[in-house]
Amino acid sequence: MEERSSQLVRLVEALAPAIGHHSTLAPTVKVLRAEHSVKADPVFQPPCISLVIQGRAILSSNVNAHMIDRDHFFLASVPAPFELETSASPAVPLLTIDVEFETPLALEIASALGPRDSSYPKTNALCCTSGRSDQGIKELAARIVTALHDPAACRILMPGLIRELHFHLLNNDEGLAVLAGMNGVGTRSKVLKTTDKLLKPAEASVSIDAIAASTGLSLSSYHSHFKALFGCTPLEYQKAARLHEARSLLRSTSLSIAAIGRAVGYTGLSQFSREFRRHFGHTAREESGSKNIDGPSIAGALPSMSD
């Protein structure tokens, strides 16, 4: 068993020979290699399934914490803010396989499974969950990694492997709550569905009062349920999303800091700089100088809100 695990690590290292996120032959699968431990790093996790091949990560919010290692998976059905802690070193890098969570596929699986128990054990389990990776999930992860090394196998087999992964994770105790949220079960599910409005492009007019009204809840009730799900208010969620979008632009483009601030919705450079430093603990200028460094995100940057 240990020899098989070591072989899997070598296969993943070949897919990620350097620090950072690496695209693969499968468009919705990325591989991460990190060689430095981090603590309390703010991240805005995109919808994803994360499988750790080596190392450990903990995603924490004010309402829950998720440990991800060889024996535990992580699943997020919507973008969510967390603080990230990782265990990694050059000798033993953190290696993860990150699969984009496909909502249409998940809804298809939910429909095929039929009515399920709508109860959920954790307040934020509707948007993200974690659980034990049984032998079936571990073997599936190994098959995914193996297919990523073979163009023909990746092209022919990967859609089925990704479908199987979604099924395994949704058809268990942890996944039932996510299915309940996607199927619109309960008040918090209605609140969960408002995240797409909060993530609209910065130039779009977004009124949190109007979003709350669309759920049929009072503003105070909407805020209360939203905070129970994400550990932050709707405004804090929206601000975190925009600051992380700015961070991604600072790392990947040559735009000026002022232009990036405007692009994500800030009208003044001073406010953008102040809130960026408060959120990340360093300045936007320092971030701009850190292009291509070992970033903290497990599953990659949040897709551009302008997409």
Per-residue model confidence as pLDDT tens digits over 285-300: 999 876 544 444 455 4
State pLDDT tens for residues 15-65: 999 999 999 999 999 999 999 999 989 999 999 999 999 999 999 998 889
Among 93, 95, 80, 88, smallest CA distance to 48 is for 80
Q: Quick one: pLDDT band at residue 113, thresholds 50, 70, 90?
A: confident
What CATH number does domain 2-182 carry, 2.40.50, 3.40.50, 1.10.3470, 2.60.120?
A: 2.60.120
Cα–Cα distance measured from residue 81 to residue 236, given in angstroms and rounded to the nearest whole number: 9
User: Rounded to an integer, what is the distance from CA 222 to the centroid of its chain?
Assistant: 23
Tell whether the model's pLDDT for residue 213 goes beyond 90: yes
Q: Residue for token digits 């070992």?
A: 294
Quote the radius of gyration of the chain (alpha carbons, Å). 19
**Beta pairing partners, 293:** none
Mean pLDDT to the nearest integer, 256-277: 93
Mean pLDDT to the nearest integer, 191-215: 87
Cα–Cα distance measured from residue 192 to residue 237, given in angstroms and rounded to the nearest whole number: 12
Q: Quick one: pLDDT band at residue 118, thresholds 50, 70, 90?
A: low
274 SS3 class:
helix
